[in-house]
């Protein structure tokens, strides 16, 4: 994170505070008060400058009251500068902003100091709309009624305001010094935030009400920061390619490099962007939930109580694990599952077909109503006092997800006639990207067999990308370019795709030449029971 932000040290923020000592009026200079301010601002290179007509009166008064010594707060609105406020005197004023990753489940907030170029605080809350539907589709259906759409918007705004207020209060900072916000969400979330009708997003031909949004002002959305604060909502490329991905690309730098890289965001869907500074191709597929810890019986998000690391002694078949937070294990999260599958496979517990080898002699291999299973933690170790195990059915579900992921990656790389070895970087977004152990993921054939240093976890790329924009307004041009460059491809279910998928259902793959570094363990080829 720190490195991402410091990389743009020479860049200029979205909002700037200019301390201006204006020349006193005289008979030789009959420039009007406000024009005097405008002239000084333009001389500093901020042009064209646009005055908000509603504040002309107030600003002119402020200039006189402060005897021509004022601080101008200027916001960059793409084709012109806006005078957000005229503050008294030449003392230092804070220049704050909020970057927000507006996810379907979670909303992450970053309080940014635009002048000191640092993130002062960050926090994450559950998306309050969850009560009206866990998934996007349910919420879109709920929003069909106009007042419900309003309800969803109100919920978000309220949660935004409360969270921002808390973050500011904890640091004794004032909302009136927050002059900018950058919000990156998927297409539907952005529609909800702006109160736009999302109906057509999920109806063929899947057209959003708007892909690009104008700059809003905080007051337009009832956001409780400076009323004239610029609010930038990242544009979408389409219904299935949202502003969160645009912000992610920005954060990865993929779009600026000569070399080809790939960017993967595993959420509800796995979203993939491949390209370089000249071209970008993207697709998405339902690879996600199991990889993130969902669906699988004892799967869970990376949160306290989640097992996130697993090792299995191949000699004794005894597991060792790490739990997030200081507590007994509750479940197992995405990176834990990947570790577990990889270690079970390496220890010969899992066959290449994903079957559990019940002929092995270990108290950890048990029989359950869901068939054979491997116990990671016995009842005495877990927080709910029940065995924490993974059954063959769980393994099957998981393998479908990992196969879907590998299939998507294969399809997109084939589409442009490249091979995985052409990739300079393989960026993995999300908490998932930070926790995952690439060697393990390679071992199960979820991601291609590349040198592990190719893999780079980026964390919350949407939130970081939004924060970067606050610190570097030139990225607006990048966003524009990225939006125009992205070619989104639909993954039609065809024979080629099905063949790819079937091969990828195995551990690591039916074609071992694709994973030369993975050693097929002894007994790995044995059929399960």
Where do contacts with a copy of itself occur on this chain (CB under 8 A)?
A: 25-27, 29-35, 38, 48, 50-54, 56-57, 60-61, 64, 78-80, 194-197, 200, 204-217, 220, 236-239, 488, 490
Considering only CA atoms, which of 148, 234, 239, 238 is closest in space to residue 201? 239
| For a copy of itself, the closer CB: 45 or 48 | 48
| For a copy of itself, the closer CB: 59 or 506 | 59
Q: Exposure string (b/e) for 336-364, b if CB count within 10 Å is 16 or more?
A: bbbbbbbbbbbbbbbbbbbbbbbeeebeb
Question: Going by DSSP bridges, is the β-strand pair 371-377/388-391 parallel, antiparallel, or unpaired?
Answer: antiparallel
| For a copy of itself, the closer CB: 46 or 389 | 46
Question: Going by DSSP bridges, is the β-strand pair 118-126/96-102 parallel, antiparallel, or unpaired?
Answer: unpaired
Q: Give the per-residue SS3 of 43-82.
A: HCCCCCEECCHHHHHHHHHHHHHCCCEEEEEEEECCCCEE
CB of 71 to a copy of itself, least distance (A): 19
| For a copy of itself, the closer CB: 410 or 485 | 485
| For a copy of itself, the closer CB: 487 or 529 | 487
Look up tokens 């070399």; give the residue.
259
| For a copy of itself, the closer CB: 57 or 92 | 57
CB of 192 to a copy of itself, least distance (A): 12
Asked whether 252 and 261 are in contact (CB, 8 A), the reply is yes
Question: Going by DSSP bridges, is the β-strand pair 280-285/486-488 parallel, antiparallel, or unpaired?
Answer: parallel
| For a copy of itself, the closer CB: 29 or 170 | 29
CB of 282 to a copy of itself, least distance (A): 12
| For a copy of itself, the closer CB: 129 or 460 | 129
CB of 279 to a copy of itself, least distance (A): 18
CB of 81 to a copy of itself, least distance (A): 10
| For a copy of itself, the closer CB: 26 or 172 | 26
Strands (E), 341-497: 365-368, 371-377, 388-391, 426-429, 455-459, 486-488
CB of 235 to a copy of itself, least distance (A): 9
SS3 label, residue 116: coil
Nearest 5°: the CA angle 323, 328, 329 is 55
SS3 label, residue 311: strand
CA distance 91 to 516: 64
CB of 60 to a copy of itself, least distance (A): 4
CA distance 362 to 383: 23
| For a copy of itself, the closer CB: 30 or 361 | 30
| For a copy of itself, the closer CB: 55 or 328 | 55
CB of 96 to a copy of itself, least distance (A): 21
Give Dmax over CA atoms of the chain in angstroms.
101
- Based on the number of CB atoms within 10 Å of its own CB, is 25 exposed (0-12), middle (13-18) or buried (19 or more)? middle
Instruction: Please say whether the dihedral angle defined by the alpha carbons of residues 262, 265, 270 and 271, taken in this order, is positive or negative.
Output: negative
Asked whether 331 and 381 are in contact (CB, 8 A), the reply is no
Strand partners, 428: 264, 457
Q: Could you tell me the two tokens for 178?
A: 């927050």
CB of 9 to a copy of itself, least distance (A): 30
Q: Exposure string (b/e) for 476-500, b if CB count within 10 Å is 16 or more?
A: bebbeebbebbeeeebeeeeebeeb
Considering only CA atoms, which of 267, 270, 238 is closest in space to residue 102? 267
CB of 286 to a copy of itself, least distance (A): 19
| For a copy of itself, the closer CB: 196 or 375 | 196
CB of 197 to a copy of itself, least distance (A): 6
Asked whether 271 and 406 are in contact (CB, 8 A), the reply is no
SS3 label, residue 88: strand
| For a copy of itself, the closer CB: 192 or 389 | 192
CB of 3 to a copy of itself, least distance (A): 34
CB of 80 to a copy of itself, least distance (A): 5
């Amino acid at each position: 994170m720190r490195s991402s932000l410091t990389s743009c040290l020479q860049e200029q923020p979205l909002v700037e505070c200019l301390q201006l000592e204006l020349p006193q009026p005289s008979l030789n200079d009959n420039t009007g008060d406000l024009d005097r301010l405008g002239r000084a601002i333009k001389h500093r290179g901020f042009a064209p400058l646009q005055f908000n007509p509603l504040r002309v009166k107030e600003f002119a008064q402020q200039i006189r009251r402060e005897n021509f010594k004022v601080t101008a707060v200027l916001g960059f609105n793409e084709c012109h500068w806006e005078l957000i406020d005229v503050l008294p005197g030449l003392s230092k004023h804070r220049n704050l902003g909020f970057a927000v990753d507006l996810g379907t489940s979670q909303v992450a907030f970053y309080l940014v100091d635009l002048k000191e170029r640092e993130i002062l605080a960050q926090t994450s809350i559950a998306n309050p709309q969850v009560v009206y539907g866990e998934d996007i589709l349910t919420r879109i259906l709920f929003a069909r009624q106009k007042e419900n759409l309003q309800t969803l918007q109100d919920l978000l705004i309220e949660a935004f305001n409360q969270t921002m207020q808390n973050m500011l209060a904890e640091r004794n900072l004032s909302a009136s010094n927050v002059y900018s916000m950058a919000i990156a969400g998927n297409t539907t979330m952005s529609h909800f935030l702006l109160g736009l009708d999302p109906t057509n997003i999920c109806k063929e031909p899947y057209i959003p009400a708007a892909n690009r949004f104008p700059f809003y002002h905080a007051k337009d959305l009832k956001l409780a920061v400076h009323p004239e604060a610029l609010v930038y909502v990242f544009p979408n490329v389409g219904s299935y390619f949202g502003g969160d991905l645009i912000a992610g690309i920005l954060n990865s730098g993929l779009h600026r490099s000569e070399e080809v890289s790939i960017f993967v965001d595993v959420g509800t869907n796995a979203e993939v962007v491949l390209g370089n500074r000249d071209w970008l191709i993207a697709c998405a597929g339902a690879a996600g939930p199991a990889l993130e810890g969902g669906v699988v019986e004892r799967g869970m998000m990376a949160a306290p109580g989640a097992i996130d690391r697993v090792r299995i002694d191949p000699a004794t078949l005894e597991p060792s694990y790490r739990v997030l937070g200081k507590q007994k294990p509750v479940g197992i999260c995405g990176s834990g599952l990947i570790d577990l599958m990889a270690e079970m496979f390496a220890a010969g517990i899992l066959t290449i077909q994903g079957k559990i080898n019940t002929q092995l002699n270990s108290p950890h291999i048990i029989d359950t109503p869901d068939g054979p299973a491997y116990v990671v933690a016995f009842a005495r170790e877990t927080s709910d006092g029940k065995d924490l195990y993974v059954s063959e059915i769980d393994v099957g579900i998981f393998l479908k997800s990992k196969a879907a992921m590998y299939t998507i990656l294969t399809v997109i790389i084939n589409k442009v006639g490249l091979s995985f070895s052409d990739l300079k970087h393989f960026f993995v977004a999300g908490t998932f990207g930070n926790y995952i152990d690439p060697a393990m993921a390679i071992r199960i054939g979820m991601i291609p067999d590349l040198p592990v240093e190719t893999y780079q976890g980026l964390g919350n790329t949407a939130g970081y990308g939004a924060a970067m924009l606050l610190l570097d307004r030139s990225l607006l041009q990048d966003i524009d370019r990225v939006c125009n460059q992205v070619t989104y491809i639909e993954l039609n279910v065809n024979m080629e795709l099905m063949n790819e998928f079937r091969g990828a259902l195995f551990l690591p793959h039916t074609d071992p030449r694709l994973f030369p570094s993975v050693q097929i363990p002894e007994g790995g080829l044995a059929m399960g029971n």
